[in-house]
Every structure is written in C-alpha cells, then in structure tokens.
Amino acid sequence: MMMRSRLARRIYEITGENVYLCYFCGMCSGGCPFAEYMDYLPHQIMKMIQLDDRRALESKTIWYCASCFECSSRCPRGLDITRVMEGLRIILLRERRDAVDLRSISGLEEVPQIAIVAASRKYTG
C-alpha cells in the first residue's frame, strides 16, 4: 500500500488503519461528545495525518478523545478513528513525551487508585 505521509505510514503500522480512506465528511466530528473542547476536530486530525502535518501530534484532541467509539460507529468508510487517536498517543509516548506528570498532581491520596492507574496508562509512557 502506497502511503505518501510518513505519519500515515506510522499510524498504519501501529493500528492497521488506513487514514487515506477518510474523505472528511465530518460524521465523526458531528458525533464526538468532546468536540467542543478539542483544538482540531477528528476529521481535521485525519487530514493532518494524510498531509504529514505534525500538528496532529501536538494537538489537545488526541488527549481529549474519550475512546467512546462514537466517531468510529458513525464513519461511513469503517475507519476506527478511536484507534487512530490511540496510535497518535502511542507515537508520542514512545518518544517519551508524557501528556501529564503524575508527580506534579497534588491530592493524589484522595483519588481512587483505579483512576490513577488509568491516567498513567493513557497519559504517560
């Protein structure tokens, strides 16, 4: 499969998802429960990946994704956009660029342990 974008190729290697199937209909973004908090909508992230635009890796969107699969269930091309967002997070975490430093959070003693474990798995490498 010919992939012009290095980022698209990395996403494919990690997730098996071909981002070139996306034609930016916006169905994923229209159903996203966290779209109002994102700096780029999911379909915009897909375009960035296709264009090899590293802003996709720097966006808040990939961390705000709740992995609820609403976007993936709405995609007419059958893309698992949730998996693509996870792939972007994995790329960053493999580069040892954590989204949050758990040591800097005060009051962790009061937070349920399962929440700390879940946060550390999603936001730290």
State CA 63 to chain mean position distance.
Answer: 6
Extents of the domains making up the chain? 6-94, 99-125
* Distant-in-sequence, close-in-space partners of 102: CB < 8 Å, separation ≥ 6: 108, 116, 119, 120, 123, 124
Query: Tens-of-pLDDT digits for all 125 residues of the chain?
Result: 567 899 999 999 999 999 999 999 999 999 999 999 999 999 999 999 999 999 999 998 998 888 899 999 999 999 999 999 999 999 988 887 666 666 666 776 776 777 666 666 666 65
Please tell me the class of the 6-94 domain: mainly alpha
